[in-house]
Structure 1
Amino acid sequence: AKLEKIAIFPINAFGVMNDRVMAPVGKKTHLMAIGTLSDHTTLKLNSSVTWKSEDEQIAIVSNQGEITPKKMGKINITATKDGISETLKFEVIHAKIAKIMIEPDNKIETPLGREIELTVSGILTDGRKVGNLATHIRLLPTNAATMRYEIGKPPVLVPVTPGEATVTATVDGHIATSSITITPEVLERIIITPEKPSVPLYGTIQLTAKGVFSNSNEPKDITNVAWDTTSRFGIVALDNKGKVTLLKDGDTNIIATKNSIQSTVTITSEDKLASISFPKKGYYIEKGKSGKPLEVIGTTQSGKQILLPNSSLKFHSNDSKVASVINGRITNPRQGSVTITAIYELWSDKGRKLLRAQMRFTCIEHVYSVTCRIPKPSR
């Protein structure tokens, strides 16, 4: 039997109108070629016919009769075998929705109090993604959540109690489903009080931390808060309860952390030091004797004077062979004179500033005592 006629049938066409097969851009369409033989039998010919697209910029066709639409337009698809041909009218139309999904995710987890705005996105047949598709998102019966709808706005899922919920959406026959797990309330932020703490030098302040949870804007007491400081220069002493003592004049951050949530406040000096000075400009000591601890006075911006602990100062001698300062005392004195410099480091957000004071130190060989007697006047 010989081939007498070929017929072409679309297998999964998007639609047919006026004998023209239609498919959106990117949506592959399969064609089947059926041959009629001289003995009136039929035979599937897909792999044995030659397929041809009239314009491959609009659509291409494989050796198996699979059409890949590339851009909008109208063409003819031809199947040929043994000199027998048949033509199919084919039209590529604009891309259509291939699937939809509920955003933000198909599996959503949210704590009590944290509402979720739900939208529907789609993937087109050409691979592009489109968002905010107009549709109605429906909540299946549950006690865990409710839905809030407002005209012109995406629907909002409102958690009610810990549990499970399911929402569905339908667009052009495509269905999307999303499962939602509602968990107990979670800590969202920490509030440290006072918000702008200031402390006098060597003064102490107690910081407190309260938590704001997902289901309430009212701060609540929280426990197991970890306290830390960004200071690398020993500006403050901080205990595990949030008690802060200002050891050096300067600014530093205090951090409260719980469940990976952090909050920070900046501790500032209430009355910053403006200068430092020695009470005496000169100091004498007898050779071979130890000196008293040096005293350095700090003067604040308001004029208040503070005796600074020697541990907060650095001392420098311009001639360590004559004398040096160790632990705030002049040591190893030998006869001669040196200049002792006291240095105080002041830290702020602008960096480090050094306050200096100088005193002349003299080591003498001996200290002599002289007694003077005044004669009594004669009568």
Structure 2
Amino acid sequence: MGGAKMTKGFFVALVMALLLCGCNGSDSQSDALTTITVAPLSATIAPGTSRQFKATGFYANGGVVDLTDIVTWSSSNTAVATVSNAAGSRGVATAVGAGSSTITATSGSVSGSGTVTTASVQSISVTPASQVGIVGDTQQFRAIGFLSNGATQDLTEVVQWISSNPAIAAVSATGVTSAASVGTVTVSATSGSLTGTATLTVVTLVSVVLTPVNETIDAGEALQFTATGTLSNGETSRNVTSLVNWSSANPAIITINGNGAASGVSPGSTTISAAYPGIVTQSTGVTVQGPTSITVTPANPSAVVGSTLQFSATGSFAGGITRGLTTLATWSSSQPGVAAISNAAASKGLATAVANGTTVITATLGAQGTATLTVRALSSFVINPSNPSIPVGSTLQLTAVGTFSDSTTQEITDSVTWSSSAPAIASVSNSAGSRGVVTANATGSATITGTINGLSSSRTVTVATTAVPTARAFVTSTGSSNLSVIDTASNEFVLNILVGPGPQGVAVNASTNRAYVANSSNGTISIVDIANSVEIDTVTVGAGPLGLALNPEANRLYVANSQSGTISVLNTATDTVVATIPVGSTPGSVAVGPSTNRIYVTNFGSNTISVIDSLSNSVIDTIIVGPGPVDAALNSQASRLYVANSFGTTLSVINTATNSLVTNISVGANAQGVAVDPAANRAYVTLGGTGALSVVDTTTNTVISNIPVGTGPKGVAVKPASNRIYVVNNGSNTVSVIDSLTNSVIATIPGLIGPGDIAVIP
């Protein structure tokens, strides 16, 4: 991600130089700036608050560039709103007085504008209205301002927060309370003469119960522990997983983090404990079983002196399950003088070719697996794909495949030195982790060359502005802050689009060429122009946004804010938050029923579904489902909602006409994602515990097939027109493509980094 930012900064500086002096021999007319668009087009804010405007430049040669920090900003009425031209805050408009002002971005003779309206705050509401906190824990309150023109604005960071009794619970400048002692306080948010209040009742944690108990898992398998607390007010089902202090008696056997997520490391038995001051520490035994065998890949590779080669270890376990063990195994080379192999945490299994010859590479974790590495002369190599075309602002991974003196072939991308004939058009990375990644900077062509040991190979990369193809899927890559684009016609990775940190959920509106990405790490939504493969705006929502869903007909986007316990409602015509709806604990996903004006929200922390009336933006019902609901999919035609329960083994089926539970279908451990194909009467559930996709017949509510996919499957999407199912495998960094007619995997798409969710253009 750092490399991408450096490239973008270099490109912006280059654009400035071209605009000012027309150097590098470029044609001034073909490189001319033709249009500037300002986003948002309109915004309503309260006096004394601010909103970030962004400027995007469109060039005659097809280039699209973020000009926010380059243009000159102005306000048509500084008595209403000012706008900053200071470094670090360019384009930030601040409301001063009542009325409307035009915010303009200008570069030379070209300008674009948006409108900011200042509306007074009529009332303040603090959400949630009441909370029960535990001594030693924190709670987030938010202040929502209702403006005179009917709009709403999150005022959490501009109001004055006050606790009626700081000795019981203090409140920070951002609405976060810290519970110190038992009692009840009023939490107030004040702006001028307006005040909104909420109630916080502080209780103590009396006891804790751990689940699961005495579990047996595989090395490399993840296991989520849950701590359920009994409180001094009589509540017996509070999820306190993130509040207790987790520990492993032997981290060499199993590790556990502060959120209770454990992972098997090596064979053996030990104890997991949860501690909290003032209560008895609770513990449970856990056994980690090793693999029955290990397979090392590639099995018989070749390498050239000075190059590196990554080996992978896969373990076979009871029941036919396989798991990746590369980072857990101990690696060795029989001939370190031919090739050394790393056991360092960041590079386990990475071999470095030292001299010509043959060595045996061994991976050990109880069982052993081997591969034979031959270091020999490289005869030639080729770069793939051949002569690609990509849009401005996107990235493309080139790969180098070498042919050795014995006619064997091997990918050598990370061993090649890369260069570009025209970095201003297309630059290429030599940084670790991104070698061979091309960044499209401006329209034109560039020759990308790879060199190793005196050999070279080249490809021509064409950069163009193209219309968005319809055969596309969009995958959030949490590990790289990217929205990854996949060609569903060829089942190939296409490019990455940089979005915000920690991207989770994604939704696509093909009719407007827009994708929406929930950035969990900074509480924003990235708005992406999928025709030009570029982020064009961000909208601030609640804390920890995860899932989201669109209602295109109503121009609404619904975002589940896991840490705020709310749903943000966005008007997608103006890209503004128009409502914030309190729901249950830790909301994670959203399903929309446009024809019934109903929104369904999974509440992971309270094991419920919140039913929202989208006309009034209020919760009208709450449905109890299985433990840890994480995803939901709606079949409006059949009045059915399907809910994946991650802490159990079930798929809950809800009758949306009566908001009642119909049945719980046993599908398998650790359900993560669910999608439905109404025409085929099928529901598809990803199972993180077994690395499979469960196929459910929704007419009989029975499982009819379990399809092995990759490691740690999460998001799933259906494309009925082509009879395809797409499964995102978070653990193996791939997407599995499934033929829904045969229930078989027909392709596996590599090249992703921590993929989480997927949206497909129908």
More helix by share: 2
Q: Give your verdict on TM over 0.5.
A: no
Higher relative contact order (CA 8 A, sep 6+): 1
**TM-score normalised per structure 1:** 0.32
